[in-house]
Amino acid sequence: VQLVESGGGLVQPGGSLRLSCVSSGFPLDYYAIGWFRQAPGKEREGVSCSSASDGSTYYTDSVKGRFTIVRDNAKNTVYLQMDSLKPEDTAVYYCAAIALSTYDYTCLTYHYDYWGQGTQVTVSS
């Protein structure tokens, strides 16, 4: 079971990035998927999550209207489209997965079993 993120980088405020998370070793169809982030000195927080059973989504308040999570089960890939980026979005972003049989409608960090290595997103002028 492996998750690999990509797409991070340095972007100016107001810019956009698209993060990708590719899974191997398990089909995404049966897993809830989440994007989380951790800024220096802060706890890891749930940014956006997608349920396995019906694809419903959750966004933390600070990213609503700016970020979009997209699940492509056929490609075993989940994307996080990030628009109108702000300096406070700077963090290491992680994708994570949890089996549907364990949890589904959740964006709580401690519910997730499988984690990627993270990708750095820096928003700065």
C-alpha closest to that of 17 among 28, 8, 25: 8
Looking at residue 104, its pLDDT comes to 80
In the predicted structure, residue 13 carries a pLDDT above the cut 80 = yes
pLDDT tens sequence across 86-122: 999 999 999 999 988 788 888 999 999 999 999 999 9
pLDDT tens sequence across 16-40: 999 999 999 888 889 999 999 999 9
Looking at residue 25, its pLDDT comes to 85
DSSP secondary structure letter of residue 108: -
Looking at residue 102, its pLDDT comes to 82
In the predicted structure, residue 124 carries a pLDDT above the cut 90 = yes
Q: What is the mean pLDDT of the chain?
A: 95
C-alpha closest to that of 122 among 20, 34, 30, 39: 39
CA-CA distance, 50 to 47, in Å (whole number)?
A: 11
C-alpha closest to that of 53 among 103, 116, 10: 103
Rg (CA), the chain: 13
In the predicted structure, residue 1 carries a pLDDT above the cut 80 = no
In the predicted structure, residue 57 carries a pLDDT above the cut 90 = yes
